[in-house]
């Protein structure tokens, strides 16, 4: 009687015979030591830095090299000595910083800075798509860079950690800015934002019901102000109401209702996310004209073009102007005015990504494993991978998932 046998996967059977074959073993991940560069920002426009000295210490202790351009952390009140003490290397030559494997930059690089980059380098920065042009994208493509936008990175909860933290900071800070410009110290009409017993509280109108708006609501209500919130979406307003845990005056957008609310408002905060097909302005010039003299507008949406018709781009050195008797604060990048807090928030997001990238053996394997990080990539090895950007600038694009099968 012949005994049946089960073929072993380690053997082949040419012409019915048995020959030994190599046994295939899974190759483990090989960690990679990264060279990370922190370039100097244009401090007229940007005060934040991507990594704190504490984050640098952790990276160095894990075998990575961190190069910091001379005084890159100064605007965030981080000295060269603090970075050196934590194991960072201070570099004077910009070219040496830009030769790092990975560049961590807050603001998008200028065209002049892009020309310092080499093929296969990895750029982490904000994208600021509304202020970009085709030439910028073509330069990234030509130089075969992999570019990752901070604001597009997702976490395990499918949210945007950098965007959320910066929005929270902007919302909170916008109320403090409004309070400052209502006071005598800034030439305001001498009104306290909030209220005390026996005095009618100041009124704050907030456009939007997202993260920035929520934190603006919390800050204004915490000071005792009477708050009115407007948004296009009833579900968003309901979510905000539930999140704050208090009854709010809420309304969907209606020009007449907004105009009536602005007549008695002391502060207007524009914290609405602008979309391509939405209205260009939510507050028209005629609406601004009915506001009280000395009232304050803080247009957080100015980095997307602004949601108030009278808004104009300003910077931290010349942040305000007066139109129709109303003070306008229209500075993009409000978190930069509290640079240290904002830097810590960004560093907290980037540090674990960099550590995981090193443990994975580099960016490619990390991208394969991490869909949230992959979502932030808009140029991969010189190939545009964001369809929206491709349509915007009439450039060909490919889905990044097509490249992941190679790893």
- Run of H or E including 373: helix 371-374
Spatial separation of the C-alpha atoms in residues 245 and 258, rounded to whole Å: 24
Using alpha carbons, select from 400, 306, 342 the residue that is nearest to residue 107.
342
- Map tokens 């939510």 to a residue: 282
Spatial separation of the C-alpha atoms in residues 252 and 250, rounded to whole Å: 7
CB 59 within 8 Å of CB 127: no
Say how many CA atoms lie within 13 Å of 300 toward its Cβ.
35
> 307: left (phi > 0), else alpha (psi -120 to 50), else beta?
alpha
Spatial separation of the C-alpha atoms in residues 366 and 377, rounded to whole Å: 12
128 as an active site residue: the answer is yes
Spatial separation of the C-alpha atoms in residues 252 and 207, rounded to whole Å: 10
Spatial separation of the C-alpha atoms in residues 99 and 121, rounded to whole Å: 8
Q: Which of 128, 130, 254, 273 is catalytic?
A: 128
What pairing do the DSSP bridges indicate for beta strands 326-329 and 122-125? unpaired
Spatial separation of the C-alpha atoms in residues 228 and 263, rounded to whole Å: 13
CB 78 within 8 Å of CB 56: no
For CA atoms 147, 149, 150, 152, the dihedral sign is negative
**Collapsed DSSP state (helix, strand, coil) of residue 147:** strand
Spatial separation of the C-alpha atoms in residues 407 and 405, rounded to whole Å: 5
* Biggest CA pair distance of the chain: 106
The catalytic residues are 128
């Amino acid at each position: 009687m012949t005994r049946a046998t089960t073929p072993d996967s380690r053997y082949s059977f040419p012409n019915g015979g048995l020959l030994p074959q190599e046994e295939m073993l899974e190759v483990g991940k090989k960690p990679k030591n990264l060279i990370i560069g922190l370039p100097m920002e244009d401090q007229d426009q940007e005060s934040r830095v991507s990594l704190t000295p504490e984050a640098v210490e952790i990276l160095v202790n894990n075998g990575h090299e961190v190069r910091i351009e001379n005084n890159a952390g100064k605007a965030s009140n981080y000295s060269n000595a603090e970075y050196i003490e934590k194991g960072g290397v201070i570099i004077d030559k910009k070219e040496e910083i830009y030769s790092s494997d990975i560049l961590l930059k807050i603001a998008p690089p200028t065209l002049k800075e892009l020309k310092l980059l080499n093929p296969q380098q990895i750029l982490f920065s904000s994208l600021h798509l509304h202020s970009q042009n085709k030439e910028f994208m073509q330069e990234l493509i030509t130089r075969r860079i992999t570019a990752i936008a901070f604001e597009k990175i997702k976490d395990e909860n499918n949210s945007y950690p950098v965007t959320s933290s910066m929005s929270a900071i902007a919302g909170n800070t916008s109320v403090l800015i409004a309070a400052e410009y209502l006071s005598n110290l800034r030439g305001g009409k001498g009104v306290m934002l909030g209220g005390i017993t026996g005095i009618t509280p100041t009124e704050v109108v907030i456009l939007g019901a997202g993260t920035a708006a929520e934190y603006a609501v919390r800050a204004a209500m915490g000071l005792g102000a009477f708050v009115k919130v407007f948004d296009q979406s009833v579900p968003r307003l309901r979510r905000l109401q539930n999140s704050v845990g208090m009854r709010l005056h809420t309304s969907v957008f209606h020009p007449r209702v907004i105009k009536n609310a602005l007549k008695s408002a002391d502060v207007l905060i524009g914290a609405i996310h602008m979309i391509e097909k939405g209205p260009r302005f939510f507050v028209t010039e005629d609406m601004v004209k009915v506001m009280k003299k000395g009232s304050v507008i803080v247009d957080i949406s100015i980095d997307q073009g602004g949601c108030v018709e009278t808004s104009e781009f300003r910077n931290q050195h010349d942040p305000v102007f007066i139109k129709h008797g109303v003070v306008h604060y229209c500075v993009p990048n409000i978190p930069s005015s509290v640079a240290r807090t904002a830097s810590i928030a960004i560093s907290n997001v980037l540090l674990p990504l960099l550590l995981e990238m090193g443990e994975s053996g580099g960016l490619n394997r990390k991208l394969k494993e991490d869909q949230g990080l992959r979502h932030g990539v808009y140029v991969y090895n010189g190939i545009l991978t964001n369809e929206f950007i491709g349509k915007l600038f009439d450039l060909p694009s490919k889905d990044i998932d097509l490249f992941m099968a190679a790893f």
